[in-house]
Amino acid sequence: MIFILTFCLISVSGYREDEVLDMAEKRLSTILIGGAAALAVCILICPIWAGEDLHNLVAGNIENLGIFLEGFGSEYFETLNDKLQDDKVSLDGYKSVLNSKSTEESLANFAKWEPRHGRFRYRHPWDQYLKIGVLVRECAYRIDALNGYLNSEMKTPPEVRAKIQESCTKMTSESSLALKEVALAIKTMSSSSIADPHIVNAKTAAKKLKSLLKTGLWKDPNFLEIIPVAAVSSLLIEIVSSTAKIVDSVHELASMAKFNNDVLMQKENGKDKILRVPSIEGSHNIAITVE
């Protein structure tokens, strides 16, 4: 550092005062022009917003949890076909959620200083994304523990697994649908209650599983064979609870950020048909029929 300062002083001393001032003015103007050009490119031509990155990150994390739960039931109960066996690697997507805290906090801090842009209004509730992120990571840690039982050396006999298969697959599939739905709601910035029936179904299955654990499994004489099944069941019940909290927190975000209500009800052949009209981006359309 001392060497650099000495070199600069020696270099400057070789110029007259007016030459030094002229050189400083030129360099300062060059810096200002370069900075202004970079700022214009980042804002007008190719904008990179921390808020949008945070928005997409949280939605993607929720979707990754849904993807894991979608495939867990069939893999745990060994009902995967050959095609799904080739796609087993996709179940590892949830692992990126485990270490997302620092990234989310950093993006949220930058987002608070950004002006209104795109779909994000002034005073957008960025702190709510951090609350959602905490709940998503809690769910991801439970999923990580659940994932350990896929390759566990303690194998439960198929006949024991069969006792909980219906309830467990119902819980995972309904939780998966709920998570994917709220992830889509965040991406499209839409207020939707489509996830709520899936949460109700998942809680009903969880209640049925709790009842089964109290009465239907402990009669087995080999207690060691039941331990892994009981652990998986307990984790799934906790995951359903975590999923419900995530859905509620996304509903809260939708209310705070004033997301568009893009869900309409139509009658078709005597049934209620829930339609999602095109979002702001116009990239998603979903139709779900409810009896």
Percentages helix, strand, coil for the chain (3-state, rounded to 5) are 70, 5, 25
Q: What percent of the chain has pLDDT over 90?
A: 40
Rg (CA), the chain: 27
User: Can you tell me whether residue 176 is helix, strand or coil?
Assistant: helix
| CA 286 to the chain's CA centroid | 20
Among positive and negative, which fits the CA dihedral 194, 96, 118, 105? positive
Assigned domain for 279 exists: no
Is residue 183 a contact partner of residue 194, using CB atoms and an 8 Å limit?
no
- CA 26/CA 11 separation, integer angstroms: 17
- CA 65/CA 195 separation, integer angstroms: 15
Assigned domain for 282 exists: no
Looking at residue 156, which CATH number applies to its domain?
1.20.58.220
Assigned domain for 149 exists: yes
Assigned domain for 22 exists: no
Instruction: Using the predicted structure, report yes or no on whether residue 164 has a pLDDT greater than 90.
Output: no
Instruction: Using the predicted structure, report yes or no on whether residue 235 has a pLDDT greater than 80.
Output: yes
Assigned domain for 46 exists: no
User: Can you tell me whether residue 245 is helix, strand or coil?
Assistant: helix
Domain range holding 123? 52-262
Instruction: Using the predicted structure, report yes or no on whether residue 195 has a pLDDT greater than 90.
Output: yes
Mean pLDDT within 9-30: 64
Instruction: Using the predicted structure, report yes or no on whether residue 89 has a pLDDT greater than 50.
Output: no
Instruction: Using the predicted structure, report yes or no on whether residue 191 has a pLDDT greater than 90.
Output: no
Work out the number of other CB atoms within 10 angstroms of the CB of residue 202. Answer: 27
Q: What is the DSSP letter of 219?
A: T
User: Can you tell me whether residue 261 is helix, strand or coil?
Assistant: coil
Using alpha carbons, list the distances in angstroms from residue 144 to 44, 69, 131, 138.
Answer: 42, 11, 20, 10
Mean pLDDT within 1-30: 60
- SS3 track for 115-157: CCECCECCCCCHHHHHHHHHHHHHHHHHHHHHHCCCCCCCCCC
Give the count of domains, the chain: 1
Least Cα distance to 195 among 209, 171, 206, 179 occurs for 179
Assigned domain for 86 exists: yes
Assigned domain for 120 exists: yes
Is residue 171 a contact partner of residue 236, using CB atoms and an 8 Å limit?
yes
- Among 84-88, 180-184, 244-248, which is the least confidently predicted range? 84-88
Assigned domain for 152 exists: yes
